[in-house]
Each structure stands twice: as C-alpha cells, then as structure tokens.
Structure 1
C-alpha cells in the first residue's frame, strides 16, 4: 500500500512540487511567505495529497482543505453542538465547484503530526483525531472512505452503509473513478432551456402505473422475477433490492438536476439505460459500486 512508505519528503515547503504549492485548492496549507501554516502536520497532508493524486488518480480540483463542519449530536430532548474543520475532503468529481461541503464528500482525510503515538490518547493524538474523523463521517450522508494518518502510521476505513458511525478498516483504497466521465456515456442529459419550467430540460417522463407494473413485474415477470430467478433472491429480498434501485434512480435524477441549477452546466444522469445505446457492463459496474463497495 502506498501509504506505508513515509519518509516525510515535504518537511521543507521548498520541496513541495510547484503543481501543489501553487494550486488554488491547496493554498490554505501555506502562509504568504510560502512556509507552512502548521509546520509539523501540513507536510503529512501534502504527502497524503501527493499519494492520492499520483497513486489513486484523484484530481487536485476535487480536493478541499479545512472544510468547516457544524453539526449536532444527541437526542430530541437535548444534545451538543460541534464545530470543527475537516482536514481534507475529496469530492465525487460531479460536485466539483458545487459548494456541497460534507453533503457531497466522497473521501475524508484526517492528518496529524508524525511524532504522535500510534493509538495514543494524548491531546491532539491518534484517538482524538479518530474521534473527529468519526464525527465528520457521521455528519456526511455521502462520504464512503476515510483516512487517518500521521505519515508513519496510516489507517484506511470504509463506511458501513448500514451503520454510518461504524468505520470498517480496509487494506487499501480503490482507484478514484470519475463519475462525471462515466455519466458522459449516458444518453440522458439535463440541459439549460429557458422555455422550460425552472429553466432546465430534464428529459424525464412521468412513470405511469402500467409502466411501473411492467418494469417491476411480479412473481412471473419483470424485475422481481429476474432478481428471484437469476440472482437467487427470496421474494422479500427482491422487493428490498427493487426499493434500493428506485431510490438510487430517484436520487441520481434529483442530484443531477440540482447540479445543473447550481452550476449552469449540462450534466448527464449516471443511473440510466437505453437499449442499444447503454453499455450494460458499464451500468452494472455503476450499480455494483452503489450497493457493493469494495
């Protein structure tokens, strides 16, 4: 795993490649005189950014540093309000520039000084940073992966989708895949059109009751039958899977429309299919990533 090989190569800010030092998204790491804001922690952050960019294909434009987090924790009877700053956020590239914050985060990175003891409980130590990372992940409905690193020690986690506050340790990150590029293979797009309601043309058609029944089917035909007969699901499991598919489709439509409204740019739906035009394998990979993250 690339994160295992830490030599603190950017301890001197002069050694930071110009590509990183002058990128707008990374400017919060440096003072006006080009020195680090935090001399011990920031070299670790730059090292993590370099690995994400070079080894995993994360575009620098998809990064945001020191993202403010403001959230509450507790019950309906009372709780506490937390404010903090997530060290580094990696966005799904469809949301670059959309200002979605924690709502559109994909990966979160929490960095600390290399001298901090592994799993140490001292102030600003490993456990304190892990608790922060857990809190930030819980506050984000979209974040899938989390990285906690001091450089010398690194843990990579995947979010448990059924228990959002639970982080499962994994061996390595998957390569970053461009959701925007994948969406360009979709023939269904949202475009600006002043003559349409809200100034956009969604290309969506209302789902009639008959069409709904035809697609979902019953015990003899349609999606329900395919899931049961081809995938080996029990009837109730097939219904559960269809509900997930419907929610994913609805979410993709709403998120894409909201993006067009926010950015003024044409966007493509990701979760869509047209016979003869859509690559079934590509769509299958999208569905697999949604429901079976590795």
Structure 2
C-alpha cells in the first residue's frame, strides 16, 4: 500500500460530536460493520467509549479515506504475556481494526490487520494509571499489535488525547510514536502503477498477474553459484576471496539490495 502523510493531525480536534446516538449519521448507524456499537433500541452499547469509537471511525473515513467496508469492530483476539513457558494467555477484544483493500470481506482478522484503534472514555487521565485507564489500554493495544503479523499503525485515543504509533514489521517491532496517520490508499491501485506487478490473489480470475519468473535451482546456480559467470566464482577467482569470504560478501550484497 502506498501512503502519503496528511497535512494536519485530524485526531487533535475532538469535539465529541456523537455523544448522542441520534447525532450519528444514518449511513454509519445503518452500516452492517458498525452495528456492534448500538443496541436494538439505537442506544450505545458502551455509552462512555462508543462515542469516541464512532468519532474515530468518522475521521478515518472522512479525513483519511478509509472505506467503511474496511472496518471491523470488537475482534476477538488471543494473546500471551510473558515467556512461552511461563506466560499466561488472555482473551481480548480489539476495539477496531482496519484492513487494506485486498482483505476487505475476507475475514482474516488480526492476521491481515493494517491499522488498530483502541478507544477509551474521554474522562480518563492522559497517561494515567487508574483502572481501565490510559496505561491499561496502551498495554492492551501493544498486546493486540504483537498478536498481528501485519498491523503497521496503531491509534490510542480518548478523544481529548490521541497517540498514533507506527510499528516496524522488521526489527525492532516496538511501537514508535508518529505525528500523524498516513492517508489510506488502495493496494490494488498502487500495484497497477508499480513497475513490478504483485500477485494479490492468484486464485481469483481478476487477480493482478506478475511478469516475474520463479528463480529455479539452475538459474540460481548460474547467477550466484560456481559457474564461470556466477557471483561466487567471480568473488573467489577474480577478487581473491576465500570461499567462505565470498559467501559472506554475497550475503552482505543481497542484504544491502
């Protein structure tokens, strides 16, 4: 997904416009993905937190371009605390996750989440330690992010205070605070404009095809191995490196690439 940063941090402007369920736009109230926020009589399930959640959803949709179809609310999650041997497993429920457009409607859950949002009631103290407070919600958000191999961005908001984080999918995996959330853009559209085509779903008739060819054993040996023109031979014979030194150099080149 190609992302560009918005000019301003929309999450800094909380006015709690949806404190009353009647003030929520009809297309939000009637959307099937948002139904978990409301009881049968139209009132909020959680009167303190749900107005913050719907406010965050409205910003994601209106300011950052997130489709309502890309949202999933209250996703059950398993996560652990501590080491694998001595840790404890917990059942949690992520307030809100956002998929990129490749996984809308696929039901992939945390495995294909792109953004996670943890909402809390506005009256809680910023970075406070009280029960169901800021630190407790941040710990939950960290746990949910750790349980997802794909989530890149996290938002913790009480409306009055908001923190946005980015997670490096490589190393380190810790959440790093950033100033703003990038704009949401279509991964499929980005792939169409890329010089390298990516297979998004090869089993689907309309999946994006690729012109890249698999690297066979013979081709691998020809390019990197001990053939006359192979990288290993060139480093060993032309540059005077020992065989293991040549391998180490090749690994460094590939890593840098």
CA 1:18 to 1:196, structure 2 compared with 1: closer, same or farther past 3 Å? closer
Q: TM-score, length-normalised on structure 1?
A: 0.68
Which has the higher mean CA deviation after the structures are superposed, 82-91 or 184-193? 184-193
Count of equivalent residues: 249
- Larger RCO: 1 or 2 (CA < 8 Å, sep 6+): 2
The answer to whether the Cα contact below 8 Å between 2:221 and 2:227 also exists between their aligned partners in 1 is no
**Alpha-carbon deviation of 1:78?**
2.6
Residue number among 170, 189, 195 corresponding to 1:162 in the alignment: 170
CA 1:164 to 1:11, structure 2 compared with 1: closer, same or farther past 3 Å? farther
The answer to whether the Cα contact below 8 Å between 1:4 and 1:154 also exists between their aligned partners in 2 is yes
Q: TM-score, length-normalised on structure 2?
A: 0.77
Q: Is 1:9 matched up with 2:17?
A: yes
The answer to whether the Cα contact below 8 Å between 1:28 and 1:65 also exists between their aligned partners in 2 is yes
Where structure 2 has 5 or more consecutive residues not aligned to the other structure, the ranges are 1-8
**CA deviation map 1:32-86 (0-9, x unaligned):** 1111111111010011011111111111111000000012233343320111100
CA 1:201 to 1:72, structure 2 compared with 1: closer, same or farther past 3 Å? same
CA 1:237 to 1:55, structure 2 compared with 1: closer, same or farther past 3 Å? farther
Rounded Cα–Cα distance in structure 1 between residues aligned with 2:243 and 2:164? 36
2:40 counterpart SS class: coil
Which has the higher mean CA deviation after the structures are superposed, 141-150 or 197-206? 197-206
Q: Match of 2:135?
A: 127
TM-align CA RMSD: 5.8
Residue number among 39, 44, 58 corresponding to 1:36 in the alignment: 44
Which has the higher mean CA deviation after the structures are superposed, 92-101 or 199-208? 199-208
The answer to whether the Cα contact below 8 Å between 2:150 and 2:169 also exists between their aligned partners in 1 is no
By percentage of residues, which structure has more helix? 1
Larger-gyration structure (1/2): 2
CA 1:193 to 1:76, structure 2 compared with 1: closer, same or farther past 3 Å? closer
Rounded Cα–Cα distance in structure 1 between residues aligned with 2:179 and 2:210? 41
CA 1:94 to 1:197, structure 2 compared with 1: closer, same or farther past 3 Å? closer
